[in-house]
Structure 1
Amino acid sequence: MGPVEIGMLSVLAIVILVYLGLYIPIALGLVSFVSVWIMSGKSILAFNFLKVAVGDGVTEYNFATIPLFTLMGLLVSKARLGRDIYDVMNSAFRKVLAGIGMATVGANAIFAAITGSSIASASVFTKISVPEMLRYNYNKRFAVGVVAGSSVLGMIIPPSAMLIIYSFVSEQSVGDMFLAGIIPGLILTVAYIIAIYAMARLWPSYIGEEIRTDDMPALSKTEMFDKAWPVVALIILVLGGIYTGWLTPVEAGAAGASLALIIALLRRSITWQGFWSTLVETGHITAAILLLITMASFYSRMLGFAGLPNQLDALLQEWDLSFFHIMLIYVLMMLVLGTLLDTASIILIVVPLFITLIEGMGLSLVWFGIITVIGAEIGLLTPPLGISCFVIKSTLNDPNISLKDVFLGSFPFAVIMLAVLIVLIQYPILSTALL
């Protein structure tokens, strides 16, 4: 058995092990170690590969973005900014048909710009938005579906943990990935809002046919300003600092975390004990992500040693496939894997296989990252895994809303994501215009 065959079997082995429940970094590291050992016949070479991967991971300066943005997101949740964002958006959309659904999308988009986590968005807005929509007679499937669909914005609109992970796997600038995610994130947000309005007009039974809006409270301009300024300040500081070049991504993360702490202290929403627990949680999340990235580096080196990316590139060129066919294969692969694996796993497994091919075609790896993240994020809404859907079900804890309701409710939003993905593939400039 040659190196290429071993490399192909290793990819299959990783997918199976992850699907069976083995911790992703362990699966990546174990299979990579064994594969290098088998290909070389020397265990010492496998240890050297692992040593280099770990050494590179520990010394990478940009890895500091992970704990800083994680801390910022946790502090934002402590400051209860999610509730404030929702109140402002709900007041703004209160007179619009299906306005609470649109408000949920808008609030999720803004919340994504200061937390970067789909899971956090799903958890927060399940508690805030779903009960509110049910109180005004919205369809229960729409109520959970709009939260599930809009929660994925957390992984597209920067700062996004998945964009950070992709940037390390592909050796791209974190700042460039953040800038590239802005326009696609806004496009998806607008697409969701337009789709909700269209469904309310053309498919009222899905939204809710007896929606009440007459007693929906409205905020004064002063109240809206008081609730909105902390969020606006964070977005301007973090994304504005990166976009203007005043701050590097690491510095922007530090500045954002500092401002989020100040806001939480001013609101008296965090105690010293709560701050300590936030720091500990940040450490746990950071350690998990860094181990994941380190083992992904080990996996990429194993694939390069096996020559699998070059062989895949040569094979696809031999077949003389067009750009359309290559992207079709790639998207279908992500959609299939999305029903089994989480987003990080898909990025770590698939990107190293295709990155040589994409570079050889002269395509932007930044654009390719946006396509990868959005394609993989569709899996958050599709069974059997559908992590966002499981988070919503477990957070809601309502016996009248089943997991089936959540999946059916989120299906239209998964279709919209796919449509936006096709547009972004057709027009790469939408992802690279700000670079």
Structure 2
Amino acid sequence: MDWLFPFALMVGLILFFMGVGLPVAFAFFLVNIIGLFLFFGGSAGVTQMISNFSDAIASYSLAPLPLFLIMGSLFFRSGLGDGVMHALDLCIGNLRARLSYVVLAAGAVFSALSGSSLANTGMMGSLMVPEMLKRGYKPKMAYGPILGAGSLAVIIPPSSLGVLLGSLANINVGALLIAGMIPGLVLTVLFALLIFVQTRIDPDCAPLYPVEDISFLAKVKAISVNIVPMGVIIFLVVGTILLGIATPTESAALGCVGVFALLVAYGRFSIKSVWAALDDAMKVTGMTFLIISASTTFSQVFAFSGASNGFISYVTGFDPGPYTFILIMVLVILVLGMFMDQVSMMLITLPIFLPIANHFGFDLVWFALILLLAYEVGFTTPPFGLLLFVMIGVAPPGTSLKTVAMAVAPYMICTLLLILLIVIFPSLALFLPNML
């Protein structure tokens, strides 16, 4: 088992360095240097790593990432999201847990406009948690729907994590983004059914309260002013890819132009908000490109050392079967999600999981979507799920991690159920990509 030493050394060092608090990119660079000296010719390998940097990030498939980040940042910083929340609040009737449904619907819309789960959760949490708790909603009905709706941005296009995964795995980014559309809507419906069941079992979890009766014309006006224009942006981003009019990069540029046009139309355009959006995108893009440069070399060293092929031969020697492998993969991601963020999980698991997926002959778009859903669960896996800490940050002082984690647990189960449905019915993920 000559592969076992490099496998254990490289994966173990990555986990160790990240465990002691070293930033992800630096942890990968440090392990790369160690691996290059041991398995790749020493200083000559380091020189090769440096020359690989430009090739790693000079990929056309990565171009949508900063554009989607700019679009989402402009959307949230300009306050356009407040209007969407207000319109949805007016249109949903006096249902039990109406604010939970408002949050869920808004989360689905915001996911198609920002691509950022952290931004969605932070915005909806800061706007809605105080109001929901004031209305007597129990924590599971206040925190749970916000965390569930926030996580939808992982699979509903334009998903920033989807762009990164598609680029790293050399998968058609447009097909992967579109593949998340139907599963994202199915997951939204599952979340809505969950809210309905929870209110049936425990009516006191979301008390009814008087709601002003709004005329039909007022509802139409609210939708026309605040939601229909957002639908145009969604079409520019998603519809143009689906219809074959634009590539993901072109659709991202169209989305930015559309948001700029809305800012001007609503009188919310300002140099300050544009500069802040560019600054946000620059920071995240710079960090992401640094991580990609490090992970590309990691994959090369991992393969050159024999760890990759050795591990594949070892695993397939047990003849686990494709579905058993998917189960093991999801369980591994759930465990990793307890201790690290999604990008870190992706960089560690892709060099291991992707070759095995190729061995089994999986459709890579289908497989990548299952990975994204598993990473989505990792967003809310205690004790270190990032969305949990975002929610604690906007919750009342004294809110415990246990309270937030218990609130989101049923939504995690819904996501795992969706993974099972996609495994049983692959057309849920592949219907729209096959139309491209």
Q: Where does residue 273 of structure 1 map in the other structure?
A: 272
- Report the alpha carbon displacement of residue 39 of structure 1 after superposing the two structures with TM: 1.4
- Report the alpha carbon displacement of residue 41 of structure 1 after superposing the two structures with TM: 4.3
Letter of the 2:16 partner, please give it. I
Counterparts of 1:370-385 in structure 2, within 5 Å, are 370-385=369-384
Q: Where does residue 153 of structure 1 map in the other structure?
A: 152
1:82 and 1:375 mapped to 2: Cα distance? Answer: 28
1:34 and 1:400 mapped to 2: Cα distance? Answer: 44
- Report the alpha carbon displacement of residue 256 of structure 1 after superposing the two structures with TM: 0.6
Counterparts of 1:181-196 in structure 2, within 5 Å, are 181-196=180-195
1:368 and 1:113 mapped to 2: Cα distance? Answer: 22
Q: Deviations over 1:218-258 (max 9, x none)?
A: 75311221011221110011101111111111111111111
Q: 1:430 aligns with which of 421, 425, 428?
A: 428
Q: Do structure 1's residue 418 and structure 2's residue 416 form an aligned pair? A: yes
- Report the alpha carbon displacement of residue 216 of structure 1 after superposing the two structures with TM: 7.4
Q: Where does residue 247 of structure 1 map in the other structure?
A: 246
Q: Deviations over 1:49-92 (max 9, x none)?
A: 3422x121242122211111110011111232222222222223
Letter of the 1:303 partner, please give it. F
CA separation of 1:16 and 1:423: change in aligned 2, threshold 3 A: farther
Say whether the 8 Å CA contact 1:89–1:107 is kept in structure 2: yes
Q: Do structure 1's residue 18 and structure 2's residue 15 form an aligned pair? A: no
User: Secondary structure at the residue paired with 2:384?
Assistant: coil
1:367 and 1:56 mapped to 2: Cα distance? Answer: 27
Gaps of 5+ in 1: none
1:412 and 1:285 mapped to 2: Cα distance? Answer: 31
Q: Which moved more, 1:258-267 or 1:128-137?
A: 128-137
- Report the alpha carbon displacement of residue 21 of structure 1 after superposing the two structures with TM: 1.6
CA separation of 1:359 and 1:213: change in aligned 2, threshold 3 A: farther
Counterparts of 1:32-431 in structure 2, within 5 Å, are 32-52=32-52, 54-205=53-204, 207-208=205-206, 210-215=207-212, 219-396=218-395, 398-399=396-397, 401-431=399-429
Q: Deviations over 1:177-229 (max 9, x none)?
A: 11111111111111000111111112335x33x33144476753112210112
- Report the alpha carbon displacement of residue 291 of structure 1 after superposing the two structures with TM: 1.2
Say whether the 8 Å CA contact 1:309–1:355 is kept in structure 2: no
1:29 and 1:413 mapped to 2: Cα distance? Answer: 36
1:78 and 1:258 mapped to 2: Cα distance? Answer: 16
- Report the alpha carbon displacement of residue 103 of structure 1 after superposing the two structures with TM: 1.7
Letter of the 1:338 partner, please give it. G
Say whether the 8 Å CA contact 1:331–1:375 is kept in structure 2: yes
- Report the alpha carbon displacement of residue 32 of structure 1 after superposing the two structures with TM: 1.7
Say whether the 8 Å CA contact 1:166–1:369 is kept in structure 2: yes
CA separation of 1:62 and 1:120: change in aligned 2, threshold 3 A: same
2:146 and 2:30 mapped to 1: Cα distance? Answer: 37
Q: How much is the aligned-residue C-alpha RMSD, in angstroms?
A: 1.8
Calculate percent identity across the aligned residue pairs.
Answer: 28
- Report the alpha carbon displacement of residue 119 of structure 1 after superposing the two structures with TM: 0.1
Q: Which moved more, 1:119-128 or 1:136-145?
A: 136-145
1:364 and 1:222 mapped to 2: Cα distance? Answer: 44
- Report the alpha carbon displacement of residue 3 of structure 1 after superposing the two structures with TM: 5.2
1:51 and 1:343 mapped to 2: Cα distance? Answer: 27
Q: Could you state the TM-score of these two structures normalised by the residue count of structure 1?
A: 0.94
Say whether the 8 Å CA contact 1:76–1:114 is kept in structure 2: yes
Letter of the 2:37 partner, please give it. W
User: Secondary structure at the residue paired with 2:383?
Assistant: coil
User: Secondary structure at the residue paired with 1:88?
Assistant: helix
2:247 and 2:211 mapped to 1: Cα distance? Answer: 47
Q: Which moved more, 1:172-181 or 1:274-283?
A: 274-283
Say whether the 8 Å CA contact 1:108–1:153 is kept in structure 2: yes
- Report the alpha carbon displacement of residue 425 of structure 1 after superposing the two structures with TM: 2.2
1:401 and 1:389 mapped to 2: Cα distance? Answer: 11
Letter of the 1:402 partner, please give it. S
2:80 and 2:189 mapped to 1: Cα distance? Answer: 22
Letter of the 2:246 partner, please give it. L
- Report the alpha carbon displacement of residue 309 of structure 1 after superposing the two structures with TM: 2.4
Q: Which moved more, 1:306-315 or 1:194-203?
A: 306-315
2:370 and 2:74 mapped to 1: Cα distance? Answer: 30
Say whether the 8 Å CA contact 1:34–1:46 is kept in structure 2: no
Say whether the 8 Å CA contact 2:126–2:394 is kept in structure 1: yes
1:150 and 1:223 mapped to 2: Cα distance? Answer: 22
CA separation of 1:175 and 1:83: change in aligned 2, threshold 3 A: same
Say whether the 8 Å CA contact 1:393–1:402 is kept in structure 2: yes
1:86 and 1:425 mapped to 2: Cα distance? Answer: 34
Q: Which moved more, 1:181-190 or 1:74-83?
A: 74-83
Q: Deviations over 1:247-275 (max 9, x none)?
A: 11111111111111121122232322332
- Report the alpha carbon displacement of residue 400 of structure 1 after superposing the two structures with TM: 5.3
- Report the alpha carbon displacement of residue 403 of structure 1 after superposing the two structures with TM: 3.0
Say whether the 8 Å CA contact 2:129–2:394 is kept in structure 1: no
2:15 and 2:70 mapped to 1: Cα distance? Answer: 31
Q: Which moved more, 1:131-140 or 1:190-199?
A: 131-140
User: Secondary structure at the residue paired with 1:363?
Assistant: coil
Aligned residues: 431
